[in-house]
Structure 1
Amino acid sequence: MSVASPAHSTALPAATFPLSGLLALSTAAFTAVMTELLPAGLLPRMASDLGVSEGRVGFLVTGYALASFLAAVPLTTALRGLPRRQVLIGTLVGFACGNAVTAVSSAYALTFVARLAAGGMGGTLWAMLVGYAARMVPAERRGRAIAIVLAGITLALSLGVPAGTALAEALGWRAAFTALTVLAVLLVGWVRWRVPGFPGEAAGTRAPLHRVAALPGIATILSVTLLLLLGHQVMYTYVAPFANHVGFGHTGLVLLVFGIATVVGIWITGVLVDAHLRRTLLTALALIACALLTLGLYAAAPAVLLVSVAMWGAAFGGAPTLIQTALVDASGPADADVATSLQTTVYNAGIAAGSLTGGLVLESSGAGALPWTSLPLIAAALTVVAVGRRRAFPARRAAEESSRQRPGSGSTG
């Protein structure tokens, strides 16, 4: 007999699209990215004030990322039984505290501990944001909801970090972290006002981590995540030496073109993801591969370089939304937090391994070898998606939420 579980709360009615609540989640993503990356733009100021080298200030970013990597799975697993909005608010309070301590601390050790704590909050937040968005809307609008939430990442990278750096130049680096603290506190109120509450999972209904990982399609989607991030990061981390290698010294312009293109890409993805997820992902990966091939062959021409970077940015901008939507489809919204915690771990592993691989290639073979190192990895991701038709990336997505629930659970709708 099928027993309804509170973990499988229904989404809002089809006629209601909770834009305000989704924008709150998007702002949470924005806050997390800003908290993680802002020190990278403030190295000289923070180093001077804290009495350490710029390299040690850089470790504040490394420590955050490491804590996020280590915390995602265990904290998500430990907190599955708690009400979802309570956990979300707890992470935002954690961000506020971590940034507040960073803003007032004059001791590097205390600042580093605050960054580790904030990183743990980040790992927990990333594991739940996509699943939360999926539960707020009907299945046929899930992709668009996820695109809105993940747009916060793009806005933080393209606008937020430069704005935070400008604020630090005008008022000091502590003012930038104070602003992030205020944003997190205000966001708590926004979440309480506009984001619906969902119950945690009862102990008897929680699928173990290994069972979620073994769900059909999950391993395939995680492998695509790893290959995509490896291939992307090999090239993106070292785009400055590559631009110099081909005789184009304006790295800032290259990054600006890439950032603007990612905004365009995520908008296009939001329009297409629900109706054409598989085709859009295949197209995005094929465009990245074409861009890398062109960069490898013809990047010495400035116009070709910038057009290729724009193509790469637009295609990559929407890829995380497409992959995470596929992940939620495969796991079901009730298990999305656990599945996304696995993806968060794989995502960070891909970033670290890609940066390391690119660095080794740069040192051994030079910047010209970077596109040719990235290209096979992206081609492999494209191949995996092309053959993963049945479970991971089906040609037709399920239209009803109930079709994605775990066996033995009933609909609460």
Structure 2
Amino acid sequence: MPLPLYLLALAVFAMGTSEFMLAGLLPDIASDLDVTVGTAGALTSAFAVGMLVGAPLVAALARRWPRRAALLGFVLVFAAAHAVGAVSPGFPVLFATRVVAALANAGFLAVALTAAAALVPSDRRGRALAVLLSGTTVATVAGVPGGSVLGAVLGWRAVFWAVAALCLPAALGILRGIPAGRDGDGAAGGPVLRAELAELARPRLVLVMLLGALVNAATFASLTFLAPVVTGGAGLGELWVSVALVLFGAGSFVGATVAGRLSDRRPGAVVAVGGPLLVVGWPALAVTADEPVALFVLVFAQGALSFALGGTLITRVLYEAAGAPTMAGSYATAALNAGAAAGPVIAAAALGTDAGRLGPLWASGLLVAVALLIAFPLLPALTAGRTTGSTADDHSR
């Protein structure tokens, strides 16, 4: 894999740390800014909605920019938003910085997904996407727990400064590693925006985006409310929540890496094998949640399966959106964040059922089951023509 791909992954690591770090910082933020924890929780929703709305919007605005300029600009705006957030005098300013950071994150990821595909041969996109998304999985393993420790020692503002600082080497790497010239798909002769948006009328593209959103919703439904399962169901102390999160992140790294080697050539196998295992794993986790060993083993396994299946489906979005070379990354980003926004909402509703704190786990199983019911009858068509996007991107290299 080319070095620029790893430089993009470094920026994704900083952004992933920012996206997930608030879970451990909300009480400190609420106390410092004199708001309730519930009000501070709106910062998470603001980021998710900003990502969902921002992906297609910002990608459309930046579609004619050279990729290096777009990626560098988004990283610097993201860093600036965190620097302003670190000195926020009140909650409204901090809320605004989260929206700006989300828009920059969405734009960066939309462009980075397309750029990653253009850095490698057309039959290695899955591996390239796995490297790029490894920034997110490493963030869950190291960035988020590290941010929690830093916040506990130096306060939440120090974590915002740390994220801003992480963006600087990523920006330097982009400046030195990404070609400066205008890409073929961004030139004047490329597809017009209306033609790229028209790709969304293709049923197969919409189907793959829906499947990716459902699987990601399942992932975030349980991940968001994993702490009550660990402390309540298993009866463990709060320290073990960090252990569970690290195991989930380690599993997601393994799953994304392994599936990245299969999602280009054998995506059907990943869906056919990983899908049923994932749909069984969430209820199994609910049933065995009071057994710590089983809990931790299944948390690792579900992290691996979730990112293996989710990453494969997002790779298929890039293939299916070959006719939208400058917008394909935004379609994949929108699918990811539609799930990230919907999953916690569905899980919160499940908490009010008889299943209680285990409700999100059952909800995750149901979401994946719905995805499989949709996917399996159409599996041959869904995975046919794995290099359908080669023509669209080959001219940009």
Place the TM-score, normalised by the shorter chain, in its bin: 0.7 to 0.9
Map of 1:130 onto structure 2? 113
Question: Equivalents in 2 of 1:228, 1:215: separation in Å?
Answer: 21
Map of 1:70 onto structure 2? 53
**One-letter amino acid of the counterpart of residue 303, structure 1:** V
Further displaced range: 255-264 or 241-250: 241-250
Question: Equivalents in 2 of 1:97, 1:279: separation in Å?
Answer: 43
Q: 1:206 to 1:111 in 2, by over 3 A?
A: same
Q: 1:336 to 1:292 in 2, by over 3 A?
A: farther
Among 204, 212, 217, the residue aligned to 1:225: 212
Residues 1:159 and 2:161 are matched in the alignment: no
Question: Equivalents in 2 of 1:232, 1:214: separation in Å?
Answer: 27
Q: 1:185 to 1:392 in 2, by over 3 A?
A: same
Kindly state the Cα deviation for residue 147 of structure 1 after the two structures are TM-superposed: 0.4
Question: Equivalents in 2 of 1:53, 1:296: separation in Å?
Answer: 31
Residues 1:93 and 2:76 are matched in the alignment: yes
Q: 1:155 to 1:139 in 2, by over 3 A?
A: same
Question: Equivalents in 1 of 2:317, 2:78: separation in Å?
Answer: 26
Question: Equivalents in 2 of 1:176, 1:372: separation in Å?
Answer: 34
Kindly state the Cα deviation for residue 248 of structure 1 after the two structures are TM-superposed: 4.0
Contact 2:59–2:326 under 8 Å retained in 1: yes
Q: Which has the larger radius of gyration?
A: 1
Instruction: State the TM-score, normalizing by the size of structure 2.
Output: 0.88
Question: Equivalents in 1 of 2:355, 2:379: separation in Å?
Answer: 38
Contact 1:133–1:142 under 8 Å retained in 2: yes
**One-letter amino acid of the counterpart of residue 80, structure 1:** R
User: How big is each residue's C-alpha offset from its partner over 1:361-382, in whole Å with a ceiling of 9 and x where there is no partner?
Assistant: 2213223554443323212222
Q: 1:288 to 1:38 in 2, by over 3 A?
A: same
Contact 2:260–2:312 under 8 Å retained in 1: no
Q: 1:370 to 1:169 in 2, by over 3 A?
A: closer
Residues 1:330 and 2:358 are matched in the alignment: no
Map of 1:349 onto structure 2? 338
User: How big is each residue's C-alpha offset from its partner over 1:337-395, in whole Å with a ceiling of 9 and x where there is no partner?
Assistant: 4233234333333233322222222213223554443323212222333233454322x
Contact 1:68–1:123 under 8 Å retained in 2: yes
Question: Equivalents in 1 of 2:35, 2:349: separation in Å?
Answer: 28
Q: 1:216 to 1:135 in 2, by over 3 A?
A: farther
Contact 2:212–2:314 under 8 Å retained in 1: no
Map of 2:38 onto structure 1? 55
User: How big is each residue's C-alpha offset from its partner over 1:110-156, in whole Å with a ceiling of 9 and x where there is no partner?
Assistant: 22222221111122122222111001110122111110000000111
Question: Equivalents in 2 of 1:86, 1:378: separation in Å?
Answer: 38
* 3-state SS of paired residue (1:205): coil
Question: Equivalents in 2 of 1:242, 1:386: separation in Å?
Answer: 31
Question: Equivalents in 1 of 2:107, 2:25: separation in Å?
Answer: 26
**One-letter amino acid of the counterpart of residue 373, structure 1:** A
Contact 2:213–2:336 under 8 Å retained in 1: yes
Uncovered stretches (5+) of structure 2, i.e. residues with no partner: none
Map of 2:192 onto structure 1? 206
Kindly state the Cα deviation for residue 80 of structure 1 after the two structures are TM-superposed: 1.1
**One-letter amino acid of the counterpart of residue 284, structure 2:** T
Map of 1:5 onto structure 2? none
* 3-state SS of paired residue (2:264): helix
Kindly state the Cα deviation for residue 55 of structure 1 after the two structures are TM-superposed: 3.2
Identity %: 28
Map of 1:260 onto structure 2? 250
**One-letter amino acid of the counterpart of residue 39, structure 1:** L
**One-letter amino acid of the counterpart of residue 255, structure 1:** L
Among 110, 117, 127, the residue aligned to 2:100: 117
Contact 2:248–2:299 under 8 Å retained in 1: yes
* 3-state SS of paired residue (2:111): helix
Instruction: State the TM-score, normalizing by the size of structure 1.
Output: 0.85
Kindly state the Cα deviation for residue 180 of structure 1 after the two structures are TM-superposed: 1.9
Contact 1:22–1:148 under 8 Å retained in 2: yes
Among 267, 271, 284, the residue aligned to 2:261: 271
Further displaced range: 184-193 or 103-112: 103-112
Kindly state the Cα deviation for residue 330 of structure 1 after the two structures are TM-superposed: 1.3
Residues 1:235 and 2:235 are matched in the alignment: no
Contact 1:258–1:314 under 8 Å retained in 2: yes
Question: Equivalents in 2 of 1:203, 1:365: separation in Å?
Answer: 58
**One-letter amino acid of the counterpart of residue 206, structure 2:** A
Question: Equivalents in 2 of 1:215, 1:185: separation in Å?
Answer: 39
Q: Between Structure 1 and Structure 2, how many residues are aligned?
A: 389
Contact 1:235–1:371 under 8 Å retained in 2: yes
